[in-house]
Amino acid sequence: MWKAVKDREAGVLLPSSFASRIRSHRVASFDLSNHKEIVSPHNGAINSLQVDLTEARYLLSGASDGSAAVYDIQHATDYERGLIAKHRSLFVVDKQHSHGHRYAISTVIWYPVDTGLFITGSFDHYIKVWDTNTTQVVMDFKMPGKVYRTAMSSIATTHMLIAAGSTDVQVRLCDIASGAFTHTLSGHRDGVMSLEWSTSSEWILVTGGCDGAIRFWDIRRAGCFRILDQSRSQLGRRPPLAESTSKKGSVTGQSSSVKTAVSQRRIPLGNETKQLRTLRKSQILTRGPVVQRLHPGLSSSHNRATAHYGAVTGLRATGDGMYLLSSGSDSRLRLWDIDSGCNTLVNYEAMRLQPTKALQLAVTQDSSLVFVPCMATVKAYDVWSGMTCRTFRGHYELVNCCCFSSQYQELYSGSNDRQILVWSPPNPIIAEMEDGRGGLVSVADQDNWSD
């Protein structure tokens, strides 16, 4: 490492590559933290974790017993034996709270602009917006079904919409400014288990449903503009331009009127190839289809392409907004190229994912590693080759969520055993102490000036 410092001084190594080298080195040495512990006050399985986006200082967790808690992960509340930092919760809101949730909390997110608000969604059909300082509910929204996932865009400057996916087929967007539902996105055939706002545009929402489809919505228009199909694939990163244009459909000029009433058989006009021009000619079939007219660029809601053979349980976009990772209940993790909408066919080695619950995936900042909760472990995969880099075993039961803090290179994972574990690069001072020189009771970060 000192050679790298020298190189940076001399100008041989760029400062940014020096920083990313240090970060990836630290991530590669992850293990169960030997200097930090989070004391979880929950009495139920931990369903959702999030580190705040502004300072990366507060961790928010939501559990199945209807409780949500906030921890300060930079400053410990007390030290055990002077060495291990214990982080207790700053406050807990649970069923005893006058306006608390009545059933399990499935999702918690911070308000992206600052930590003054946080939003919780629960199986009691409510989404509540809380004021962090007074721990009071500021606003709540009643959804038609159990809320699976909520999301707010971290790059939004013109709207503050909470996208909520529930057991109902429609995705609803709730507005904090007005307290009402502004949009209802229909198209999925079953509940929506995972949602993500795009990291490159504040208007684009990605949803994954229990019907196995992943849909892209531009909230300024009606309807979804892309559906990811697992059979459309590209080998690795984007192919050269000439090849890719031949795959895109040729939506011939149809008039832009609203779609007609529901009829049993329709022709999907979304993703056709040139070979199916003949399809339009031979439309006189026994079952009398009705032609659906679409806006150009919009995908038909009857396009049945699926991204997974089961429900889509988790979505995560990479930081640069170019790729999307999705996990399904068919125990597959897929990497999609967002712009071309193709499956990049990267195979993430044998994993078994829990099929019934929504998972929270995490990606490192430079999109090199993806952390996936696989049954009772968290596995780190290399994003492009699909090889297992590390397996983190520490939880006693199924792991539901994991959250990566890129600023301090730490991974937090929450599981059914009610614990939140911290995975970080080892602290060398404590590692030395444990080596057997025991009995030294000094606080790890106390100054040590010579006289």
Partner 1 sequence: MAAESSRSFGKKRVRDEESILDKGDADRTLGLENNLTFSDTLIALQMMRAQFPNIEKVAMQPFILRSQLYSSVKDRTQVDRDLESLKKEKVLRLFKLNTGQDDHAIMFLDDYLKQVAIAVKRLEIKNQQDLEVFEWFKKYVIETKLDVSIDHQELCALLSCGAEVKDKHVTFLISAGLLNRQLIDPNMYWFTIPNIGSILKGLSQGRKELLSFLNRRKFKEMLLAPLEKKQLRFSPLDMRFHLRDLIGSGHLKTVRTPTGLLVRVSKD
Contact footprint for partner 1 (CB under 8 A) = 211, 231, 233, 235-236, 265, 267-268, 275-276, 278-279, 282, 285-287, 289, 304, 309-310, 329-332, 345-347, 349-352, 374-377, 385-386, 391
Least spacing, CB of residue 309 vs partner 1, in Å:
6
Q: What is the DSSP string of 216-272?
A: EEETTSSSEEEEE-TTSB-SSSPPPHHHHHTTS---------------S-B---SS-
**What would the DSSP string read from start to end of 70-97?**
EEESSS-SEEETTTEEEE-EEEEE-TTS
Nearer to partner 1 among residue 3 and residue 281 (C-beta): 281
What's the closest the beta carbon of residue 166 comes to partner 1, in angstroms?
21
Question: How do strand 410-415 and strand 68-72 relate by DSSP bridges?
Answer: unpaired
Q: How far is the CB of 393 from partner 1 (least distance, A)?
A: 9
DSSP state of 434: I
Quote the least distance from Cβ 326 to partner 1, whole Å.
14
To partner 1, the closest distance from the beta carbon of 383 in angstroms equals 11
Q: What is the rounded CA–CA span in Å between residue 303 and residue 223?
A: 12
Distance of CA 413 to the CA centre of its chain: 13
Sheet holding 369-374, edge to edge: 362-363, 369-374, 377-382, 388-393
Fill in the DSSP letter of residue 291: P
In whole angstroms, how close is the CB of 273 to partner 1 at the nearest point?
Answer: 10
Query: Least CB distance from residue 235 to partner 1, whole Å?
Result: 5
Residue (221 or 248) nearer to partner 1, CB = 248
How far is 191 from 287, CA to CA, in rounded Å?
A: 29
Q: Which of 202/330 has CB closer to partner 1? A: 330
Name every residue whose Cβ is closer than 8 Å to that of residue 216 and which is 6 or more positions away in sequence. 198, 204, 205, 206, 224, 225, 226, 227, 228, 338
Smaller CB separation from partner 1, 43 or 385: 385
Comparing CB distances to partner 1, the nearer of 64 and 306 is 306
Contacts (Cβ under 8 Å, ≥6 apart) of 350: none
Rounded least distance, CB 329 to partner 1, Å: 7
What's the min distance (Å) between Cβ of 347 and partner 1?
A: 4
* Cα–Cα dist 197/164, whole Å: 11
- Of residues 91 and 309, the one with the C-beta less far from partner 1: 309
Q: How far is the CB of 39 from partner 1 (least distance, A)?
A: 27
Q: Which is nearer to partner 1, 262 or 350 (CB)?
A: 350
* Strand 333-337 with 377-382, pairing: unpaired
CB closer to partner 1, 62 vs 191? 191
- Comparing CB distances to partner 1, the nearer of 161 and 399 is 399
Nearer to partner 1, 195 or 210 (CB): 210
DSSP, collapsed to helix, strand or coil, labels residue 279 as helix
Residue 20 host element (H or E): helix 15-28
How many CA atoms are closer than 13 Å to the CA of 28, on its beta-carbon side?
8
Question: How far apart (Å, rounded) are the C-alpha atoms in residues 47 and 66?
Answer: 10
Residue whose CB is less far from partner 1, 223 or 328: 328
CA distance 376 to 369: 19
Shortest distance (Å) from residue 255 CB to partner 1: 21
**Least CB distance to partner 1 at residue 303 (A):** 10
Contacts (Cβ under 8 Å, ≥6 apart) of 219? 161, 173, 183, 185, 203, 204, 205
50 close to 60: Cβ distance less than 8 angstroms? yes
* Nearest residue to 76 via CA among 50, 57, 103: 57
Q: 230 vs 424, which CB is nearer to partner 1?
A: 230
Bridge partners (DSSP) of residue 169 are none
With 0-12 / 13-18 / 19 or more C-beta atoms within 10 angstroms meaning exposed / middle / buried, residue 413 is buried
